[in-house]
């Protein structure tokens, strides 16, 4: 009987170790239930300090005004827009892993999708701060929405700022709903396992009375698939709209049609780099995760990063070609200015980080070396930040007239606000690990069920495991 339900051994296992349904539940659910290691406290403390820096920077900005930043004429777009685009790009991998890979029936997403979804939400929260405060009057930000008001103000729908408002708010809303929908069965599991009355009440409220019945599962899968379908076009639309903020202008270096696909590929590139930056330390910090986030998962993410890195690098080469082929003196000058101008170091750092370093991922041994892969992922994120710096600053600081040329230098408040958002992001990610199951328990058990009951799993990826008993338990564990 055991041989009848044992899957055919495949080359790419999705699990490691001898798993059962109960073991999957226990290993993942006990992480937020048990005391966390000292490293968690240290990282949370670093994030809290960064968050305090963020709050201080925003308060001082409201008191003094935008003059504390380094923006000027002609560089009216400084760190605020650079960091906005950078954070939005990081948030793209969550939607890609969760929605698109779900629709494509890629089973390997199950072990990393919740990491990516949480990362998306926190990254978009960080991104939204920058254009909000860059307006100079965040207290009237509601004017950006088509709300009836006594001033009879109405949004200017031809403004790129307005496009960002609708794109980012829609993306954030759907991402939160998608993330929360996937949490409901696991929150019910936490409710059934909770020992304190307070935890039972909180998890009971958040799980909306989930009992694991057939009707509940039917509604859950319908809603989850519907949200995945809604999220999929957002991957293409959100960063395309952000790119159009640049592309509709006549500024050299911005007025190009390649920007939408170029920005989307860059967003996926940086997003997967950030997922690796987070997954590798968490995998080391919590050894139990290694059985579900295997080296094959790491390898697949590295391959996606390599593929999207080539698309981004192709975009860089295209920009050089466009500058030459256009025969436009301003476009040609921009290319020379990037190579040899005052900010040449930023441009060549960009080429090195995003063009040269990712080529190391062709080597399987490097893709399986966690330390090197972690370093490469950080270098890619740095390179993507330099890309945004090059696009914004180098294109603006030397305009059409030499009399309008100027230099841009970020102030300490620019840096403190940027580093503060990084601290807030770290703090929120570690809070997420403290209170919520980091992996999708219900989805992992579903994959385990498919592997051992004749379905063979998505893509036929199975592993060498002992057959598991039928699922038991109540509530979220059924």
Q: Is residue 209 part of a domain?
A: no
pLDDT at 472 over 80: no
249 lies in a domain?
yes
CA angle 416, 271, 80 (to 5 degrees): 30
Find all residues with CB under 8 Å of 260, minimum gap 6, and list them.
Answer: 236, 239, 240, 243, 244, 247
Q: What pLDDT digit, counting tens, does each position of 346-390 carry?
A: 999 999 999 899 999 999 999 889 999 999 999 999 999 999 999
Q: Which of 6, 31, 8, 33 is nearest to 293 (CA)?
A: 31
Give dist(CA 293, CA 68) in Å, integer.
44
pTM for the model stands at 0.85
**Cis previous bond, 307, omega within 30:** no
Look at residue 12 in the predicted model and tell me its pLDDT. 53
Task: Report whether pLDDT(469) > 70.
Answer: no
- pLDDT greater than 70 at residue 161: yes
Residue 347 and residue 345: Cα distance in Å, rounded?
5
Asked whether residue 248 is domain-assigned, the answer is yes
On whether the CB atoms of residues 242 and 99 are closer than 8 A, the answer is no
408 located within any domain: yes
Nearest to 405 by CA among 323, 330, 346: 330
> Is residue 178 within 8 Å of residue 226, measured between CB atoms?
no
Q: What is the pLDDT of residue 474?
A: 40
Of the CA atoms within 13 Å of residue 301, those in its CB half-sphere come to: 34
φ, ψ of residue 408 to 5 degrees: the values are -125, 135
**Angle at the Cα of 202 from the Cα atoms of 196 and 206, rounded to 5 degrees:** 145
Structural domain total, the chain? 1
**Digit-coded pLDDT (tens) for 64-123:** 988 899 888 888 888 999 999 999 888 877 777 777 777 777 777 777 788 888 888 899
* DSSP secondary structure of 44-57: HHHHHHHHHHHHHH
Domain with 95, as residue range(s), is: 2-143+156-177+232-473
* Domain assignment present for 188: no
* Mean per-residue pLDDT, 254-275: 87
By the 8 A CB rule, do 227 and 181 touch?
A: yes
- Burial of residue 238 (number of CB atoms within 10 Å: 0-12, 13-18, 19+): buried
Residue-wise pLDDT for 48-64, tens only, equals: 999 999 999 999 999 99
Show contacts of 449-458: CB within 8 Å, 24+ apart.
Answer: 449/21, 450/107, 451/7, 451/14, 452/5, 452/6, 452/7, 453/5, 454/5, 456/7, 456/8, 457/7, 457/14, 457/107, 458/105, 458/106, 458/107
Q: How confident is the model at residue 5 (pLDDT cuts 50, 70, 90)?
A: very low
Q: Which residue has the higher pLDDT, 233 or 464?
A: 233
Q: Name which residue leads in pLDDT, 86 or 208.
A: 86
The average confidence (pLDDT) of the chain is 82
> H/E element holding 122?
helix 113-134
Rg (CA), the chain: 24
Report if residue 412 sits inside a domain: yes
Distance CA 15, CA 1 (A): 22
Whole-angstrom CA distances from 355 to 266, 267, 313, 336 are: 12, 15, 6, 19
Instruction: Provide the pLDDT confidence category of residue 246 given band limits of 50, 70 and 90.
Output: confident
For 337-367, b/e burial (b = at least 16 CB within 10 A) is bbeebebeebbebbbebbbebbebbeeeeeb
Contacts of 383 (CB under 8 A, 6+ apart): 349, 350, 352, 353, 354, 357
pLDDT reported for residue 384: 92
Q: How far apart are CA 417 and CA 415, in angstroms?
A: 5
Mean pLDDT of 130-148: 85
For residue 458, pLDDT over 60 is answered with no
Is the Cα torsion angle 70, 75, 77, 79 positive or negative in sign?
Answer: negative
Instruction: Count H helices and E strands in the chain, helices first.
Output: 19, 0
* Count of C-beta atoms within a 10 Å radius of residue 467: 17
Higher-pLDDT residue of 448 and 295 is 295
What does the block give as tokens for 203? 């998890």
Nearest to 266 by CA among 322, 321, 311: 311
């Amino acid at each position: 009987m055991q041989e009848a339900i044992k899957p055919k051994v495949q080359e790419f296992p999705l699990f490691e170790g001898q798993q059962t349904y109960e073991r999957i539940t226990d290993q993942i659910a006990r992480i937020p239930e048990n005391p966390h290691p000292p490293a968690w406290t240290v990282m949370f403390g670093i994030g809290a300090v960064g968050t305090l820096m963020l709050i201080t920077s925003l308060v001082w900005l409201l008191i003094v005004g935008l003059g504390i930043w380094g923006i000027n004429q002609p560089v009216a777009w400084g760190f605020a827009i650079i960091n906005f685009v950078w954070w939005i790009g990081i948030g793209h991998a969550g939607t890609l892993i969760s929605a698109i890979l779900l629709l494509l029936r890629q089973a390997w997403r199950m072990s990393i999708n919740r990491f990516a979804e949480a990362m998306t939400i926190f990254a978009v929260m960080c991104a939204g701060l920058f254009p909000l405060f860059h307006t100079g009057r965040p207290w009237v930000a509601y004017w950006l929405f088509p709300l009836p008001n006594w001033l009879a103000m109405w949004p200017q729908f031809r403004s790129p700022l307005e496009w960002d408002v609708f794109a980012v708010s829609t993306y954030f809303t759907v991402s939160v709903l998608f993330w929360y929908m996937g949490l409901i069965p696991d929150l019910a599991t936490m409710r059934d396992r909770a020992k304190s009355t307070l935890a039972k009440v909180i998890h009971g409220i958040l799980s909306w009375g989930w009992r694991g019945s057939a009707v509940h599962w039917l509604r859950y899968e319908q809603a989850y698939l519907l949200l995945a379908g809604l999220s999929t076009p957002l991957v293409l639309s959100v960063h395309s709209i952000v790119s159009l903020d640049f592309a509709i202008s006549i500024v050299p270096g911005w007025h190009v049609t390649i920007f939408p696909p170029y920005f989307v590929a860059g967003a996926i590139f940086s997003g997967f780099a950030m997922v690796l930056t987070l997954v590798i330390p968490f995998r080391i910090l919590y050894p139990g995760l290694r059985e579900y986030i295997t080296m094959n998962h790491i390898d697949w993410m590295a391959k996606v990063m390599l593929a999207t890195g080539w698309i981004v690098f192709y975009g860089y080469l295209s920009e050089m070609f466009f500058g030459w082929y256009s025969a436009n003196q301003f476009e040609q000058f921009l290319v020379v200015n990037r190579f040899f101008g005052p900010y040449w170091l930023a441009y060549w750092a960009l080429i090195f980080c995003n063009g040269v370093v990712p080529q190391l991922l062709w080597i399987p041994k490097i893709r399986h070396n966690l330390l090197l892969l972690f370093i490469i992922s950080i270098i890619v994120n740095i390179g993507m930040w330099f890309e945004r710096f090059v696009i914004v600053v180098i294109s603006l600081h030397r305009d059409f007239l030499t009399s309008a040329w100027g230099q841009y230098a970020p102030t300490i408040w620019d840096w403190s606000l940027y580093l503060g958002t990084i601290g807030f992001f770290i703090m929120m990610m570690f809070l997420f690990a403290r209170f919520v199951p980091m992996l999708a328990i219900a989805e992992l058990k579903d994959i385990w069920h498919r592997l051992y009951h004749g379905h063979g799993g998505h893509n036929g990826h199975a592993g060498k495991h002992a057959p598991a008993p039928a699922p038991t338990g109540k509530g979220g564990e059924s």
